[in-house]
Every structure is written in structure tokens, then in C-alpha cells.
Amino acid sequence: MTNPIKSSEPADVPPPLSIVIGIRNWGLDRLQIALRSHRASDIHDLEIVISDYGSANCDDVFRIAETYDCKYIYSKAEVWSRSAALNAGIAKASSDNILTTDADIIFAPKSHGILLENLRQMPDSVQIIQCRDLPEGFGSDNLSQFDWHQLFQVSSIRPRWGMGGSATFKRDIFARIHGFDERMTVWGGEDNDFVQRARRSGAILNWIGDPEALIYHIWHAPDSRGTSSAGVKVVESNKKILQEDRTMVRNLSRSYRSATSSVPTVSIVIATKNQPDLLRESVSSCLRQTFEDFEIIVVDDGSTPELRPSLDDLDDPRLKVLLLKDSRGLAFARNYANAMARGEFIAIHDDDNLMLPQRLDRQLSAIVDDCAGSYGGYIDFDETGALTSNPGRTTFDFASMMFRSPLAHGTVLIRRRVLEFYRYNDNFGANSSHDLLTRIARGGVSLAHCGRHVVLRRRHTHKSAEAHSSLQKSVSGISKTMARSALSANLDQQYLKASRANPEADIPLCDFIEAAGHLPSRLMSKRMKIEFGENLPVSRNISAMLASILSDYREINIAFGTTAHKGIKAVTITAPDEASRGKIMSALSGAGPVKGVNEIMLPTVYPNLTMLEAAFKAKTHAERADIDVGTDIEGVLHVLEKHSSCCFLSVNEESGYRLGLPPLDGPVKALLCAKLRRFGPNECLDAGE
Amino acid sequence: MQTETVLNPTERVTIIKFTPEQYDAFPLSSTAWLDWRLIERNRDREAVAHAILLFPFISGRLSPSRGCGIDVSQPLRGFFSPRHVLVEGVEMAPARIPSGTRTAILCDGSYRSAAALGAFEHDLAIRLSESTYTTSIGPRNAIVSSNFGLFARRDGQLNAILPTIAAAVLFAEDLGLARLVLPILELTAVEIDLFARLTMLLAAVNIAVEAPLLGVGFEALQEFLASPIGLATFLSERHQDRMHPEDLTDFWIAKLLSARSGGEIAGEKEAARRLRELHEAGAVLSDRERGLIMPDGSEQEPSIDGPTSQPKTVS
């Protein structure tokens, strides 16, 4: 946690350059010499931020900061982390131009100006000055004056192992890659890692060749890092991150938002019209993201009445609502939102979908090497809470865009610069997104699948949705035709073959179960699962007790033992309140010893976890084929305990009960059908065969 | 950066392959392509085209697969200044550098290119298009399907048109080009030096580059602009992702200039209002263009409180 002890008010005109120095229990004499060199720069209005990462002598550091008119921030910390110190300092810096350096590096007077000039000419770059090491005898005791000519003569060039003690860059690069990696503790490797990621994100590394840009490392006795066993471990750990981690964006659990930091890492853009309630639910889901450095841009495409009031109480400075007085269509509104976005990445989001809380975190983590973004799977849901998993395809490419849809547009997170070049075509009344993604794929832009579901997509059933859907199909057909007509028949076939070879992404079941928990609360119900110490044998008494529960609570899920010892292992019942739960417990505890009671939240439409799992595996939500089984619960349970792991009983509105079963293998299903026939008409089960 | 020009297996698409090295940046796409089969491939022009296309991403070293001549290597190094870029594969032996006779205007779909087409004699107009799926080449027009535009920086008229220049250099020999005309009205402070270095670089491969509109006043420019209807058609053809040319700043700049020259005060005010709206909605205007919408001709930002159709920001 950062606790600013002193910070000056943000100036109206930002300084040309913010120098950020990370420090912890360092020689204060060296710090003063370094500060003196910065204050002697040809550029006079430099801001210096001293980021103290837990110094024991913080009062002394603070006094020095005051003397040299520096901004001072203090972070409580047990272990030195140069990365974390610099990130904390940059978050509080006021300039868009950032110079990170150490407390033992001195800068020749023209260096800052040369850095700024290089940055002006190469805004998307990390600028480095070759450091020169001062020899013994040129430590803090001997630098009361700077004789720059002498320092040059006695110093030796430091090989380009690292970044030589400084790095200068624009604040938007910091936002894009989200700072120095804070997993790298102590120091070593964090500069190289930062630059590698900056390069993958489109920034060049420039070693300044101007002979007047000079920096020197003040001589001091070597530190102990790398000699102790703990130090060796740190060095190895940092090295491993540097060499093996291919991701671009880091520190996803941290936030560097502040009053002075103005560049969000992500802009979530939402175009909307006339859906205030759904929009509110959608925006609320965005505000629950675990990754916090984002802004939300909502463009209201001429809603009547205006939708803004529905968002008024979502009091979050990250939310911006823009109003188009006249409706111009979805594509126009999306282009409009993209043009207003300031984030380095744009997360496309639909106004009726729900963003899963870890969407940004997972999609940013998936951006590796030189990928320009990522996408993920989605889960369709409807107003009954029924879910269908759509994992998408593993590869986003031109072939797949032409012949199948490898991804859902509303799951895309992509560099803003890509969408500055590729725009939605507002001539298309619908599905301009397919055309856009096809052009992006043709352009060779790489997007990675993040391996998870990232949104819950609302499935509409009303007629206008159907009409819209057919228009969408027609537009995507035009888009595909344009793409395919430019190809020879032979190449067309090659692309078709390639698209078929693009496998479906493999998303783990646990992700689906976790995602289901984020449905709107009205579609969820709380279940009480009672597990027995010993399986209850099916008997007349038990059946009577279950019948009694069914008459009160209408439905019950029963799990059977799977070992040789059959019987009822657990029951799950929808229990709306505390009183009901007490009543159920007292009824069931009379039947046998209770091993445990758990409360679980499930979509209302699924009686138990097994059915939810079945929906995931089936990749579709099929209506449950419930069957009438009359009133003989005991007889039915005797049959089921031998052939099924669980069943679902509910009260039939006419008479008797209805039975739901998990997906079963064909022969088992046939056998059960035959055996259950004597309890009722069994039509559904027959039809299902 | 290691670079190479190859034809894809269909032999219809020219690909610039590149491999970033230690100091280079990675572009947004891992390949650059043109839907155009190069017939003549001059080694030096190839190296120059690679340098221009990948200009924002190269630092440290440029290694074109076929190398380049000694007389091109020096301007190549200079082109990247103040970056220190080593050029590899420099060949000392003399080699032919082709020359042409024709003039091409490079178009970017702006009102400036519309004016340039009206103002200057030319043999060919060339533009890149990411949304067309095939290239169209005729005696007077070439619309080149390509993703080159993805490699441009957007800050400045010269930076934005570098990919089109790179494409023109690649097929300069096939089309007999000797002179490229750029529709540039103003340069940013950084671009002024860049333009000088670019001129030297292209001169080394026998291609002249000019920006005759540079510094021309808006009044003089207006003389060469088509009527608003003609301009709307011009813009519609070149911005196929837009339903209405009125959504482009180019349209309203031309309208404003036309109204101003005709003394139509109401028309000028309306055009200025629409320009302000588009600018506030994220459309980029150059310094001089911003001056058009300032009441006193200054270059200050306009007030955020625009007219009724102006989107509002609330938080």
C-alpha cells in the first residue's frame, strides 16, 4: 500500500519530465549527489519523485526530498522491490514523460533535454543513455563538485547488460504494459523485462548516441545481492521471469490509478440503445472487474427516453456516458466510442451481456509475444437461467472468419491502434462486427484465446431478435462472399480445410461452474445439500418423509451411493429461508446421521450440479426430458439406485411426481425405461430414446 | 530488423517479411502484404521500401535480405536519424538503379488529395485500401488492396502516408514512376526533418518526392477543390466504411472553404460548428485545420460545450 506522506498539489501545467527514483535504506549522501545533478540540469522545471519503499530512515529521506523540492511518497514494505517502488512513483508523477533512475546515478546537465528531444521524435520508444561507471575514489565523498570533463576521462563504459540505470518513456507505455513487474523483487532484470515487453507492444529501444547525453554511476562498495543464498534465489527467480514469461501486461492485481495518472490500460466500450435495465446490469458487471485500471465508455445511440438516469447511481469516476442525440446505428456508435477511448486496449462489450469478473485479468494475461489482443469463450443464458457454453475456436485467422465464426465479437480485447485503423462499416445495418473481424484477420493481426469463458451472453427469444438475427446472417454472408470471391477456387478449398482443422478451445468445467455463479440473482436459487453419514436405505419410511418434503418444497434432488452399499447419499432442496432450512433439517436428521450441510447457489433451472455439468458437456441446453412416475416413490427409488447416480423429483401439477435424470448411456437408459414403465406412461423417456 | 520481399504461394500477393531484432519494436501485424505481384524487383528500392514501411519499428540494425548498394546505405542510415541504425549487406560493386518518367499522386482519401488531383498534372493516382479484397490497376488509377496502412503512425500527414510511399517505391519500376506527389499541407515539427531525410533517401533510388501543397493557404487550396457534391462523391468512394461523407472532417473543411470564398457567413459558421463537433468526438485535425474553427483564428481548443447534438460526458 502506498501512503503518501507529502505530495504537492498537481500543477496546472505538467512538468516536462518526471524523474522517478526508487529507494530503500540507501546511502543518503549518494541520493543528495544524484538530486543535485538533476537540479543542475539545463531543464529547470523537472519534477523529481522519490519513491521510498520502506526505508527505516524515512524521516531523513523526507528531509532531503524537501531540500531538493521533490515529491516524496512512502510505501510500507518488508522486502525491497525496485519494480514496485518505481511503479508507485510513476503513479504519482505528473508529467507524461517519465524517467526512471536510481539514487546513485548522476546526469550531465544536457542529458534531460536530449532525452526529451529524442522522446519527442520517437514518442513510442524507451530511451536509454549508456551509463559510465566511476572508479573507486569517485564515491559520494569526492563529488562535492561535478567536473564533467574529468568524470568522462576517468569513467569506464558499462556494457549493455541491462538498461544502464535509467529508462525514459511516455506514460502511455507504462499504462500499456502496466508497469515494471512487481514479482521481481530486490533488483535485477526488471528494466530488461520492461523494455522487452515495451518492444513487443510496439515501442522501439533507442540507445542515445548524442555525446552530450551522459550519465555516471557513483562508485560504492558492491551490495550483497547474489552472494547470499537468498540473494541467489532472487536473481534466479527474476531471471526466470525475464526469460520465460512471454506476457505483455503484468501486475494485474495492482492498480496505478491516481489523480495525476490519466491513461487507463483498458477502455471498455459499450454501444447501446433503449435497453436501460439490461445496460445497467451490464455496466454493473463491468464495474466488478478484478483488474481495476480501466474506463467504461457508454455511447447512447439516441435512446428514447435517454438512458442516462438508469446509470446515475453507479457512482464511479471510470464511467463515462456519451449521448448521440440522433440514432446512427450500432457501427457508428461503436466507432464513436472507440474514437473517444483513451485506454491502450479496447474491450468490446455488448449492452445486454454480463462481463465475468476476471475477464480483463484473463484476457490481458493471454496477450503473449506480439499478439494485439485476445478473446475468450462465452456462455449463452436466457431468462430461465439455462446455460450453453460456446468456447470458440483456438485460432483467429482469415480462413476461420470466412467459413465459421471462431470467436464472438463481444469477447474481443484488442489494441486501440488496431481499431483506429480498422473501423466498423456503418453501411452495414447489422453485423458490421463480422466484417470488421474478417478484415482484421486478413490484416494478419494476432489474437490469442484466453482459455476461459469471459462473458455471459443474453439470449433473446422475441421476434425482433429473430429479425435482427436474419439481417446479421445476410450481412455476414456478404462479408464472407467478398472475402472468398477474391480467392481462386483452389485457395478457397485450402482455407475451408484450414478452418475445419481449427479445433474448439478446451475450457475447463470448473470455469463454467464458476461462471454460472455470476448470473443475475433472480436467475439463481440457494440450495441446501444434506449429506448423510451413511447412505439411507430406500424404505417406506424414507419415501414417506421425501413425499412430505416434496409436498412443502415441490422438488428434491437425490444422490445415490455409488459403492456396493447403495441407498440415498445426499439430498439437495431449494430452501428459500432460514425457517425452511430448519424444518428440512429436523425432518431429515430423524432419518439418519447427517455428515454435512452445504449451501450452494445454482441457476434455478438446474436441479443439481450434475445437470449443470451435463449442460456444459452437451454444449447446448436441451429441455430436461422429465417423465411421469405416478406416486410410488419407493418403487421408483429402488430402480434408480441401481442404475443412476442421481435423480430429480418434482410434484406433478396433475397428480403424482415427475422424474428427471442425468444424461445416461444408451443401454442404461433403455433398461431404465423398461423398468420404469410400470410406474407411469413413460412417454418422454421413450421419445428420448 | 531483418526484412525480405517474397511472393506468397499464389504468386499474386507480395509479402514483406520481417523479423524484429534486439532493439526493434513489433508491429501490430506480423506480416505486411500487397495484393500486387511485383514483376521487377530492384534490390535498392526494395531496401528503401522496407525502411520506409517499417520506419516506426526499426532501431539498431536494418538487414534487407538482398542488401543494398553503397550509395543507398548512407541515406538509409540518415533516414533514421537521430536513431543510430546500422545497415547490413552493403554491396560495394556498382549496380543499376532504375529510373522512370511518370508522376504519381499518392492519395490518402483526404480533401488535400482531392485538391492535389485537381491542381497538379499527373500520370497516375495511387492509394491503398484495406477494405477492398482485390487490387485494381488501370492506366490512371491504382487502388492497392493491402494492410500496409496498419504500419503507420497517425501523428502527422507525412507519417500517415509513409506506407503508401513504401508501396509506390516497390512498384515504381513496374509502373515507370519517377516522381511522387504527396498531398501534404503541413508537417509537424518532427516531420519537417523527416521529409528532408525522406527526400534524400528517395533521390538515392532515382525517385523524386514533392509536397507542392506544403504551406499553401486554404484560400488557394479551395480553388482546386471540386464542388461539394463532387467532393462528397470523391470522399464516399475512398471511405467505404462511412455511410455519410458528412461524418468526415474533410467534407466540412471543404464546405467551410467553399462558403468562405463565396462569402456565405452562415454556411461557414455551420461548417465550423460541424468541424468542432467532429473534433470533439475524436477526429484528428492538424494545427492549421484547428485554426479554421477558432473564432479568432487562434489554435486554442474550442469549448467543450457544443451545440445540442454534441455528445455530453457525464460521470
Domain boundaries, chain B: 2-91, 102-210, 218-292
Task: For residue A332, give the nearest of A269, A268, A394 by alpha carbon.
Answer: A269
Instruction: Tell whether the model's pLDDT for residue A689 goes beyond 50.
Output: no
- Model pLDDT, residue A163: 79
CB A335 within 8 A of CB A313: no
Query: Which of A1-5, A245-249, A549-553, B277-281 is least confident?
Result: A1-5
Query: What pLDDT sits at residue A74?
Result: 97
Within this chain, do residues A559 and A633 fall inside the same structural domain, yes or no?
yes
User: CB–CB of B23 and A206 under 8 A?
Assistant: yes
Same domain for A481 and A576?
no
Cβ–Cβ of A199/B84 closer than 8 Å? no
Here the cell at position B14 is: 507480395
Interface of B with A in 95-154 (CB under 8 A): 130-131, 133-134, 145, 147, 149-150, 152-154
DSSP class of A109: T
Q: Which one of B130, B311, B314 has the shortest CB-CB distance to A422?
A: B130
Q: How far is B296 from chain A (nearest CA, A)?
A: 24
Touching A: B residues 262-281, CB under 8 Å: 281
- Nearest CB among A206, A320, A415 relative to B313 is that of A320
Q: What is the pLDDT of residues A385-436, one digit of tens each?
A: 899 999 999 999 999 999 988 999 999 999 999 999 999 998 887 789 999 9
pLDDT of residue A7: 43
| Residues A326 and A238 placed together within one structural domain of the fold | no
B276: closest CA of chain A, how far (Å)? 14
* pLDDT of amino acid A668: 83
Q: How much is the ipTM here?
A: 0.92
- Cβ A370–B147 below 8 Å, yes or no? no
Tell me which residue in B147, B190, B315 faces A444 most closely, judged by beta carbons.
Answer: B147
Residue from the list A202, A426, A445 with its beta carbon closest to the beta carbon of B243: A426
pLDDT at B296 over 80: no
Least confident residue range of A182-196, A221-235, A264-278: A221-235
Give the pLDDT confidence of A438-465 residue by residue, as tens digits: 999 999 999 999 999 999 999 886 655 5
Express each pLDDT in A466-502 by its tens digit. Answer: 566 677 777 778 888 888 888 889 999 999 999 999 9
For residue A393, the 8-state DSSP code is B
CB contact under 8 A, A332 and B82: no
Of B32, B133, B308, the CB nearest to A482: B133
- Residue in chain B closest to A373 (alpha carbons) equals B28
**Residue B299 — very low, low, confident or very high, per pLDDT cuts 50/70/90?**
very low
Q: For residue A631, give the CATH number of its domain.
A: 3.30.70.980
Whether A407 and A393 have beta carbons less than 8 Å apart is answered as yes
pLDDT at residue number A294: 97
pLDDT in tens, A571-604: 988 877 888 888 888 888 888 889 999 888 889 8
Tell me, what's the pLDDT at B307?
30
Residue B172 CA to residue B149 CA, distance in Å, equals 18
pLDDT at residue B262 greater than cutoff 50: yes
Most confident of A57-66, A466-475, B230-239: A57-66
Question: Does A249 fall in a domain?
Answer: no
| Amino acid A384: pLDDT | 86
- My answer on whether A316 and A367 are in the same domain is yes
Report the C-alpha gap between B312 and B315 in whole angstroms.
10
Between A672 and B71, the higher pLDDT residue:
B71
Taking the CA of residue A217 and the nearest CA in chain B, the distance in Å comes to: 23
pLDDT at A464: 54
Q: Decide which of A490, A514, A538 is a domain's last residue.
A: A514
Identify the weakest region by mean pLDDT among A296-300, A550-554, B109-113: A550-554
Confidence at residue B311, expressed as pLDDT on a 0 to 100 scale: 36
Distance CA A152, CA A216 (A): 9
Residues A408 and A282 both lie in one domain = yes
CA contacts within 13 A on the Cβ side of A671: 10
Q: Do A426 and B309 touch (CB under 8 A)?
A: no
- For residue A494, the distance in angstroms to the closest alpha carbon of chain B comes to 12
The rounded radius of gyration (Å) of the Cα atoms in chain A is: 32
Cβ of residue B83 closer than 8 Å to a chain A Cβ: yes
Query: Strand B90-91 to strand B68-69: parallel, antiparallel, or no bridges (unpaired)?
Result: parallel
With both helix axes pointing from N to C terminus, report the angle between A82-92 and A190-200 in degrees, rounded to the nearest 10: 60
Q: Scanning the structure block, which residue is given the C-alpha cell 554511476?
A: A217
> For A436, which residue in chain B has the nearest alpha carbon?
B131
B25 close contact with A: CB closer than 8 A: yes
Q: How far apart are CA A591 and CA B200, in angstroms?
A: 94
Mean pLDDT is lowest, of A116-125, A531-540, B193-202, for A531-540
Residues A465 and A369 both lie in one domain: yes
pLDDT for A416 equals 97
Q: Do A124 and B241 touch (CB under 8 A)?
A: no
Exposure string of B101-139, with b = 16+ CB inside 10 Å and e = fewer, is eebbbbbbbbbbbbbbbebeebbbbbbbbbbbbebeeee
Question: Where does a domain end: A494, A514, A534?
Answer: A514
What tens digit of pLDDT does each residue of B26-72 get? 999 999 999 999 999 999 999 999 999 999 999 999 999 999 999 99
Do B150 and A421 make contact, defined as CB atoms within 8 angstroms?
yes
Report pLDDT for B128. Answer: 97
Which one is predicted more confidently, A40 or A649? A40
| Percent of chain B's residues with pLDDT above 90 | 80
Structure confidence at residue A8 (pLDDT): 44
- Chain A contact set for B241 (CB, 8 A): 423-427
Q: Is residue A255 part of a domain?
A: no
A354 shares a domain with A211:
no
pLDDT at A169 > cutoff 70: yes
For chains A and B, count residue pairs whose Cβ atoms are closer than 8 Å: 142
Angle, helices A666-676 vs A633-643, to 10°: value is 160
On average, the pLDDT of chain B sits at: 90
A532 and A493 in a single domain? The answer is no
Q: Is B224 part of the contact surface with chain A (CB cutoff 8 Å)?
A: no
| DSSP H or E run through A531 | strand A524-536
* B102-210 fold: Rossmann fold (3.40.50)
In our burial notation (b when 16+ CB lie closer than 10 A, e otherwise), range A328-355 reads: bbbbbbbbbbbbbbebbbbbbbbbbbbb
3-state class (DSSP) for residue B225:
coil
Mean pLDDT of A6-24: 79
Kindly tell me the sign of the dihedral angle through the C-alpha atoms of A604, A608, A610, A611: negative
In angstroms, the CA A493 to CA A185 distance is 53
Q: State which H helix or E strand residue B104 sits in.
A: strand B102-106
Q: What is the mean pLDDT of residues A623-644?
A: 83
Same domain, A105 and A218: yes
Q: Is A590 contained in some domain?
A: yes
pLDDT value at position A97?
A: 97
* Residue whose C-alpha cell reads 562535492 in the numeric block: A144
Question: Band of the pLDDT at B295, cuts 50, 70, 90?
Answer: low
Shared domain for A602 and A507, answered yes or no, is no
What pLDDT sits at residue A315?
87
Domain count along chain A: 3
On chain B, the residues whose CB falls within 8 A of the CB of A426 are: 241-243, 247
Same domain, A526 and A510: no
Q: Residue B43 is which amino acid?
A: R
Q: What percent of chain A has pLDDT over 90?
A: 60
Min Cα separation A444/chain B (Å): 5
Q: What does the angle CA A375 – CA A378 – CA A380 come to, to the nearest 5 degrees?
A: 155
Q: Which residue of A205, A326, A486 is in closest CB contact with B23?
A: A205
Name every chain B residue with its beta carbon within 8 A of the beta carbon of A446: 29-30
Give B243→chain A minimum CA distance, Å: 5
DSSP designation for A681: -
Percent of chain A with pLDDT over 70: 93
Mean pLDDT of chain A: 89
For residue A686, pLDDT over 70 is answered with no
Domain identity same for A535 and A646: yes
- Tracing cell 544536457 back to the chain, one arrives at A110
Over residues B182-206, the pLDDT tens digits come to: 999 999 999 999 999 999 999 999 9
Give the per-residue pLDDT at A226: 56
Q: Given an 8 Å threshold on Cβ–Cβ distance, is B20 in contact with A322?
A: no
Q: Tell me, what's the pLDDT at A461?
A: 67
Per-residue pLDDT, B259: 92
CA distance A267 to chain B (A): 15
Q: For residue range B118-146, list pLDDT tens digits in order.
A: 999 999 999 999 999 999 999 999 999 99
Please name which of B103, B21, B102, B62 lies closest in space to residue B201, comparing C-alpha atoms: B62
Q: Which three cell numbers stand for residue B43?
A: 534490390
Q: What is the pLDDT of residue A225?
A: 59
What CATH number is given to the structural domain containing A415?
A: 3.90.550.10
Domain that holds residue A572: 521-688
The full 3-state SS of A420-474, as one line of letters, equals: HHCCCCCCCCCCHHHHHHHHHHHCCECEEEEEEEEEEEECCCCHHHHHHHHHHHH
Tell me the Cα Rg of chain B.
21
CA-based end-to-end distance of chain A: 61
Dist CA A422 CA A416 (whole Å): 10
As given in the structure block, the three cell numbers for residue A557 are: 434432488
The least confident of A260-264, A341-345, B163-167, B199-203 is A260-264
- Provide the H-helix boundaries in chain B: 43-53, 70-79, 111-119, 157-170, 172-175, 189-203, 218-222, 228-238, 249-261, 265-280, 287-292
Give residue A622's pLDDT: 53
A2 domain-assigned: no
CB atoms < 10 A from the CB of A492, how many? 17
